[in-house]
Amino acid sequence: MTDTQRAILVLRLAAPLQSWGGPSRYNRRETRPQPTKSGILGLLAAAEGRDRKAPITDLVGLQLGVRIDQPGTLLRDYHTYSDHRGLPLLSAKANAKGEQIRTTPPKYTGVTQRFYLQDAVFVATIRGRKTLLESLDEAIRHPVYPISLGRRSCPPTGPVSLGLRPDTELEDALKEVPWQAGTHRRSQVRDTTVSLEATVEDPAGDHLAVDVPDTYDLKTGTHFGRRTVRHLWVTLPTDRTRTPYSATDTGGAGKSGHDPFALLGW
């Protein structure tokens, strides 16, 4: 096998809470509606046990596709914080020595807002060198550091890696992975197919995503670069069989004969 061979690594990203914040900072930490490249590469780096100062050039070169199998709902978490010593909080201002000064008048309690996605499920397809993806797949199955979905407080549920697949276009790979939604979401879809929103890296894409990290070093901070992406819809089977029409069905009432419009005299 040569080092030029490529493959696809498939991940299932599901948890009670996820948060893919991107460049949001300070007292308001937002989440994107789907995983960011920075968040997924951070997950891979943690699984491998990379130090925050370690180079991530090889990871940045991976191509990413994301499919929204279950969009989830937005949660706003209200936080308060204070100094455990009972001192006033630090302000955004600094003195002549560059040191932060205490708030004036003194402020002892601060407020932050953090946003999460509840009960969301995503499928991520990562395309790159086969040798690198084999190493990442092994790391995800036996991580050095705990992996999380955007923030440390968001551990995944169930296996994250769905394994390696032969090389193909990201769009085609997303079409081959079965629908990963939970039982409740599946029960809400009555048709034999479901249409899912997806995003793939594409040099000819029509959108820019600002989520490519240059480092995870806390001292220097992360600066985010751009990548070109394309949005699309993927249609997958739901494994449901279409209910045959019955002559006793009236007005879409179904087999039970229940007709809610009858209550209105229609």
Nearest residue to 226 (alpha-carbon basis) of 241, 240, 209: 209
pLDDT of residue 172: 97
pLDDT of residue 247: 45
Secondary structure class of 230 (helix, strand, coil): strand
Between CA 9 and CA 226 the distance in angstroms is 22
Q: E strands of 108-239, at which residues?
A: 110-129, 161-166, 193-201, 207-213, 224-237
pLDDT of residue 19: 95
pLDDT of residue 257: 61
Greatest CA separation for the chain: 85
Nearest residue to 22 (alpha-carbon basis) of 34, 13, 9: 34
Nearest residue to 175 (alpha-carbon basis) of 84, 101, 121, 236: 236
pLDDT of residue 28: 81
Residue 120 buriedness (CB in 10 A; 0-12 / 13-18 / 19+): buried
Q: Write down all domains in the chain, each with its CATH number in brackets.
A: 6-76+114-264 (3.30.70.2660)
Sorted by sequence, the CB contacts under 8 Å of residue 222 that are 6+ apart come out as: 38, 213, 214, 215, 216
pLDDT of residue 245: 47
Task: Yes or no: say if 196 and 70 are a contact pair by the CB < 8 Å rule.
Answer: no
Q: Could you state, in chain order, the average pLDDT of each consecutive group of 10 residues for the chain (266 residues)?
A: 85 96 73 95 96 94 97 90 87 82 86 92 98 97 95 93 97 97 92 96 94 91 93 93 52 55 58
User: Torsions phi, psi of 73, nearest 5?
Assistant: -130, 160
Between CA 223 and CA 96 the distance in angstroms is 27
Sorted by sequence, the CB contacts under 8 Å of residue 74 that are 6+ apart come out as: 31, 115, 116, 117, 118
pLDDT of residue 122: 98
